[in-house]
Structure 1
Amino acid sequence: MQILVTGGAGYIGSHTCLELLQAGYDVVVVDNLSNSKEEPLRRIQEITGKSLQFESTDLLDKPGLDRIFAQYDISAVIHFAGLKAVGESVAKPLYYYQNNVAGTLNLSEVMAKHQVKDLVFSSSCTVYGDPRSVPIQEDFPLSATNPYGRSKLMIEHILSDLHAADPSWNIALLRYFNPVGAHISGRIGEDPHGIPNNLLPYISQVAVGRLPQLSVFGGDYPTRDGTGVRDYIHVVDLAVGHIKALQKLAAKPGLAVWNLGTGQGYSVLEVIAAFEKASRHTIAYEIVERRPGDVAATYADPTKAKSELGWEAVRSLDEMCEDVWRWQSQNPQGYEST
């Protein structure tokens, strides 16, 4: 049973590939390496003692995709590939729509041609916009506040329409919250290009001296300490959630939506304190003005995933921070150090 993983060399994709291999699946990775490196794929194979196939192909290369589906016996697709920086999406909206939306259209058309109709899509809690309340349930109203979020929402609509037109498709839309952490080996983790956009990589780079201090955007939110509250989920828990969704597709559920989160919100200052405990380093930070488009608090109601997938997040914030610190301290320059 070969599973095609688009964006499999990326942060979440690489951890999911590792879990797939350990669960006994054969894995084919498609990644253009525009925001990732091939090194984690090599390390995954070392950790698991199993091999995977890698195709350096862009989803915008439709003939290339067609060749891959003809070459391998693919039974299902987990689709991670996409651009994901909110600020960049505001500056380059056409780039984001072309890459994320057109790439998914190509993928879907090639899948249909080859009669591969089981798809797990990596969506995002950004499709909830500024939620009316928390915790967030799957039936909440959908909206988006930036081109990145809108590209995810457009893809959800496209896949929903695809299933409505052809009910033989089985599609899981996984809306997840804030992935953090790293594999317990310390061998693979998050290695963003340039200045990190996400909190934990930024904090960890401050701890190893790559960055001078953390800017905390907003200290006057209506939260317990004034800083933004988010649902941070360990990337390995998230990877396991993708396998649970993949297994669920075998039961032919049609189109299904699940939140993947912990149901627990942590503030920026609480995350800083947990990381200081894990790393035994003091994190220099400064509270600055709010960032446009940020909301005070978002966290998931993961009840549906627990009841329907038999999945729940089990790793604590302390474990997330310990694993990030193990990865960053062993790989201070990320994958560049190899």
Structure 2
Amino acid sequence: MILVTGGVGYIGAHICVELLSDGNDVLILDNLCNSSRITVERITVLAGARPSFIEGDVRNRPLLERIFTDYPIDAVVHCAGLKAVGESVREPLRYFETNVSGSVNLCQAMADAGVHTLLFSSSATVYGECVQMPIDESCVLGQPTNPYGHSKLMAENVMGSIARSDPRWSVGLLRYFNPIGAHPSGLLGEAPTTAPNNLLPYLLQVATGQQKELSIFGDDYPTPDGTGVRDYIHVMDLAGGHLKALDYLQRNSGVHTWNLGTGRGYSVLEMVNAFERVSGMNIPLKTTPRRNGDIAQCWADPGKAARELSWCATRNLDEMLRDAWRWQCQNPHGYEVDNLYPNTSEPEDVTMIRLVRSADALFRPNTTRDANKTIT
């Protein structure tokens, strides 16, 4: 069984679908601070199998001890954490407590339980303002430009240290670049519970009238059009990379690092233009000063993942934006189905099945309906 912390969050949910579809038993631990319990049902519909679910926090050590006692955990995918750059600048202590202390707590519980396979959701922010482009795993670390990046780097250092101290550990550090998109069914996607901090979720809310305009934070960067450049990767490609990395860790001990990106950067204005082309919508823009903690450009050299994991991103920018737009159109209020269909009396799972079919997505009719296993 694989424990996925933060498994009903945006990235974690897509990982769970892939793990379950590949035949793995999955236990999700999530405190629901930026996610919805409804996501568990949607994962079940898409994967044709139900994950076990526990509402809880990785900072709760007694809870973790009970989980590792009561469930046959073989490996952990650690996605739980806070991820907004701007928010981390305003609330650094909250980020260090959650992302660093939570990770230390999890590693201690794993060590006590004799579970030594760990895959960590890290970030390209650990590279800081790297002058080398594209960025490969040999780039110098240690100067992230914001507390979020520092918290990820500190957690990486903790995990690298334990892997080097004990040969039983197999640790994978996956440095994400910029995940966007959604499951092609339209059932899973990014649903911020507060004002979005990332480009695409905010752009989608502008397109649906929930926000007045899209703020461009700085148009004077040393880039071709003056706006920031990022490597955007489809969340389904990212999720697939986790399966490849877990398979690698089953056969190789030590600490291993991989960039998960496409190797291609797009500017903010390129993203806006591409979205307008894909959606047919017009996006009003407003230029504002740069945000603290942002960098000019960042894109990956994913060659190491290709060589060692036989993994590469396959979905292009138009696919990422189409899937994200489908998600937004089908779920304008995120995972709140009652808000989406106020006049329907059908059960949640029936509504979801109808949505999958209406999107011409693959639906597996043998979905299990086992009750959630919970620990209180």
TM-score (norm 2): 0.88
- RMSD, matched Cα: 1.0
Kept in 1: contact 2:86–2:293 (CA 8 A): no
> Which sits farther off after the overlay, 84-93 or 214-223?
84-93
Equivalent residue number for residue 374 of structure 2:
none
Kept in 1: contact 2:76–2:117 (CA 8 A): yes
Equivalent-residue separation in structure 1 for 2:3 and 2:51 (angstroms):
10
3-state SS of paired residue (1:153): helix
Q: Give CA-to-partner distance per residue, 1:38-88, whole Å, 9 cap, x none.
A: 111111101222111001111111111111111111100000001112222
Identity percentage over the alignment? 55
Task: Extract unaligned runs of 5+ from structure 1.
Answer: none
3-state SS of paired residue (1:250): helix
Equivalent residue number for residue 45 of structure 2:
46
Q: Counterparts in 2 of 1:187-336, with a 5 A limit?
A: 187-336=187-336
3-state SS of paired residue (2:292): coil
Task: Extract unaligned runs of 5+ from structure 2.
Answer: 339-376
Which of structures 1 and 2 has the bigger CA Rg?
A: 2
Equivalent-residue separation in structure 2 for 1:336 and 1:227 (angstroms):
34
Equivalent residue number for residue 22 of structure 1:
21
Equivalent residue number for residue 2 of structure 2:
3
Aligned residues: 337
Equivalent-residue separation in structure 1 for 2:214 and 2:276 (angstroms):
13
Equivalent-residue separation in structure 2 for 1:161 and 1:60 (angstroms):
20
Equivalent-residue separation in structure 2 for 1:91 and 1:197 (angstroms):
13
Equivalent residue number for residue 59 of structure 1:
58
Kept in 1: contact 2:126–2:144 (CA 8 A): yes
Equivalent residue number for residue 172 of structure 1:
172
Equivalent-residue separation in structure 2 for 1:135 and 1:184 (angstroms):
29
Equivalent-residue separation in structure 2 for 1:249 and 1:48 (angstroms):
23
Q: Counterparts in 2 of 1:19-168, with a 5 A limit?
A: 19-142=18-141, 143-168=143-168
Kept in 1: contact 2:89–2:292 (CA 8 A): no
> Which sits farther off after the overlay, 100-109 or 86-95?
86-95
Give, in angstroms, the shift of residue 264 of structure 1: 0.2
3-state SS of paired residue (1:54): strand
3-state SS of paired residue (2:74): strand
Equivalent-residue separation in structure 2 for 1:207 and 1:47 (angstroms):
27
Give, in angstroms, the shift of residue 224 of structure 1: 1.6
3-state SS of paired residue (2:278): helix
Equivalent-residue separation in structure 1 for 2:319 and 2:70 (angstroms):
40
Give, in angstroms, the shift of residue 252 of structure 1: 1.8
Give, in angstroms, the shift of residue 140 of structure 1: 0.5
The letter for the 2-side match of 1:55 is: I
